[in-house]
Amino acid sequence: MVLEHDIPAGGRLYVGEKARLKREIEEKSAKILQTEGFKEIVTPYFSYHQGEYIQWDKLIRFADRENRIVTLRGDTSFDLLRLVVNRLKTPFEKWFYIQPVFRYPTREIYQIGAEWLNGKLKDVFQLNIKILENIGVKGTPLFSHWKVVEWLLQKEIVTPKELREMRLDKFRWEWLRQLAKVSQVGEWRKIGGLPGALKPYLEELDQFILENGVTDGIIALLELPPFQYYTGVFYKIIGEQSIYARGGSYQIGEIKGVGFAIYTDYILEGKERENFQSVEERQ
């Protein structure tokens, strides 16, 4: 039975101060992105192509008039790029969006994101940090490299399930367990027996962190990327209990780019927790 006040699980309802805060976060972010030369885009809620990069069972599906499968967008990046390159046919390369994505069965996720075709990850990472600082969010950056995970999977050194569950007890190699523990730049150099094939990627990751002057970041070499289209270094910025933002370099078809998404809902939850804690401390 559905009651008068019910909303589907995963639905978002922001009222009063929280809705105002959400608007403020979005406005501040938009202002910074516009100042940095990004142009706003609003993409359709409906898409034919989401299943190419997201598992079908995670998407909300139905049919169009010709009985073709349509989904609610589960991710903005690849629809945005596809539309910019194939439909708008514009050479403009810096885009941002402020809109929700949807996941099966009834999850709504508000995002603020930026995509930079042919851009450099360093630039969008700095921009991501700048926005978070501006909206008063402090998280811990966590860095990974898709090629490290890809190589381990291709060589069948570890299975996706073992990585997803971080089954240290199933890792057959001592160097692999050590790799799971690497958290700082250069630590991997001390690992005995580390396959040489991984070294260029580890060096690239270290260099990215050093170039960006990150001192409070951590490395997570066995982190699975959230999307299939990531190609190299990717990162997430984590709070006490949730993820505030994700970003990385990617290739979708022939299109190469870099981008990030900020998770507005988790930032609002984080701020609510902070307020709760500071009230408790005052008492």
Determine which residue in the list 31, 155, 181, 189 makes contact with other proteins, applying CB under 8 A.
181
Determine which residue in the list 70, 145, 223, 233 makes contact with other proteins, applying CB under 8 A.
223
**Residue 139 or 257 with smaller CB distance to other proteins:** 139
Tokens of 176: 């692999």
Determine which residue in the list 242, 256, 265, 274 makes contact with other proteins, applying CB under 8 A.
242
Please tell me whether the peptide bond between 141 and the residue prior to it is cis, using omega within 30 degrees of 0. Answer: no
Determine which residue in the list 39, 61, 167, 189 makes contact with other proteins, applying CB under 8 A.
167
Q: Is 243 in the site for other proteins (CB under 8 A)?
A: yes
**Residue 126 or 242 with smaller CB distance to other proteins:** 242
Tokens of 92: 């403009």
User: Could you give the CA distance from residue 22 to residue 16 in angstroms, rounded to a whole number?
Assistant: 10
Residue indicated by tokens 């069972």:
57
Cβ at position 273, least distance to other proteins in Å: 10
Q: Is 214 in the site for other proteins (CB under 8 A)?
A: no
Mode of pairing for the β-strands spanning 243-252 and 230-238: antiparallel
Site stretch for other proteins (CB under 8 A), options 59-67, 86-94, 117-125, 178-186: 178-186
User: Could you give the CA distance from residue 136 to residue 154 in angstroms, rounded to a whole number?
Assistant: 41
Mode of pairing for the β-strands spanning 69-72 and 255-263: unpaired
Site stretch for other proteins (CB under 8 A), options 3-11, 66-74, 217-225, 251-259: 217-225
User: Could you give the CA distance from residue 7 to residue 228 in angstroms, rounded to a whole number?
Assistant: 32
Determine which residue in the list 169, 254, 280, 281 makes contact with other proteins, applying CB under 8 A.
169
Q: Is 233 in the site for other proteins (CB under 8 A)?
A: no
Q: Strand, coil or helix: what is 222? A: coil
**Residue 165 or 211 with smaller CB distance to other proteins:** 165
Q: Is 40 in the site for other proteins (CB under 8 A)?
A: no
Q: Is 218 in the site for other proteins (CB under 8 A)?
A: yes
Sheet holding 218-219, edge to edge: 39-40, 94-103, 107-117, 255-263, 243-252, 230-238, 140-145, 218-219
- Amino acid at residue number 73: R
Question: SS in 3 state form for 6-66?
Answer: CCCCCCCCCCCHHHHHHHHHHHHHHHHHHHCCCEECCCCCEECCHHHCCCHHHCCEEECCC
Site stretch for other proteins (CB under 8 A), options 74-82, 100-108, 233-241, 255-263: 233-241
Q: Is 132 in the site for other proteins (CB under 8 A)?
A: no
**Total of residues contacting other proteins (CB under 8 A):** 21
Q: Is 174 in the site for other proteins (CB under 8 A)?
A: yes
Interface with other proteins by CB under 8 A: which residues?
140, 142, 165-169, 174, 177-178, 180-181, 183, 218, 220, 223, 238, 240-243
